[in-house]
Amino acid sequence: MIELHNLKKDYGKKTALNVDSLSVREGECIGLVGNNGAGKTTMLSLVLDLIKATQGYVTSKGVKVSGNDDWKEYTGSYLNEGFLIPFLTPMEYFEFIASLHGMNKEDVISFLNETSGFFSEDITIKKYIRDLSAGNKNKVGILAAMMWQPGLLILDEPFSNLDPTSQSWLKNRLEKLNNERVTMIISSHDLNHISEISSRILLLENGLLIKDISSGEGTLQELERYFSVS
């Protein structure tokens, strides 16, 4: 579904990402792990055509994402609060996103009722997004990306700033989407959660793909050993 072809991104003399070849098959849940500066967000940004590659290109369903908008019709994503509109309330933002995908206000309310364990409805009405906590901004972006049931979901550090109950809800929701064969690419520093929800783990270091492993019994321990400080 997603293909990286000789993909490289430089910032001045520093190479942020350098991946010769990578394929993400439809229905896979890919977990991206690595320390800060490993290239995770750079990779996701290139897949979403948010930045220009220094070399190479990305295809989605066989079509280059650069200069083409077709992939946006089935791709939901949230990388950071720059995706949000700060002067709207969460409800206004949800309704705006819904309108882009043929949904109405009743659809939004139904979705929020379904996800009430993650995000309380009173916040959607009373506060502007700019006044929310970092955790609640994260929740707004994640829910907006999921709301219209995209076939491809891309999230960057979705567990960041979430309380334990919200992390548990999100993990269960992502596992459900994985069972429904939604293709997902998710970066996280939480090795436990990402090991549990992913069918495949990609480990990046200094912009390079170091490991590409199928997730299973022993995956968490393997990652913990890799990142352990001797």
Tokens of 76: 């939901």
The enclosing H or E element of 142 equals helix 134-147
CA geometry: angle 148, 150, 155, nearest 5 deg: 105
Of 93, 95, 82, 2, which is closest to residue 48 (Cα–Cα)?
2
pLDDT interval class at 189 (50, 70, 90) = very high
Least confidently predicted of 11-25, 47-61, 86-100, 216-230: 216-230
Q: pTM for this one?
A: 0.94
Could you report the per-residue pLDDT of 116-125, keeping only the tens digit for each?
Answer: 889 875 666 6
Mean pLDDT for the stretch of residues 165-178: 94
Residues sharing a CB contact under 8 Å with residue 35, sequence separation 6 or more, in sequence order: 205, 227
Give the dihedral sign, CA 9/62/83/113: negative
Domains and CATH numbers, the chain: 1-74+152-158+182-230 (3.40.50.300), 79-150 (no CATH)
Report CA 129 to chain centroid distance, whole Å: 20
Could you report the per-residue pLDDT of 49-103, keeping only the tens digit for each?
Answer: 999 999 999 999 999 999 899 999 999 999 999 999 999 999 999 999 999 999 9
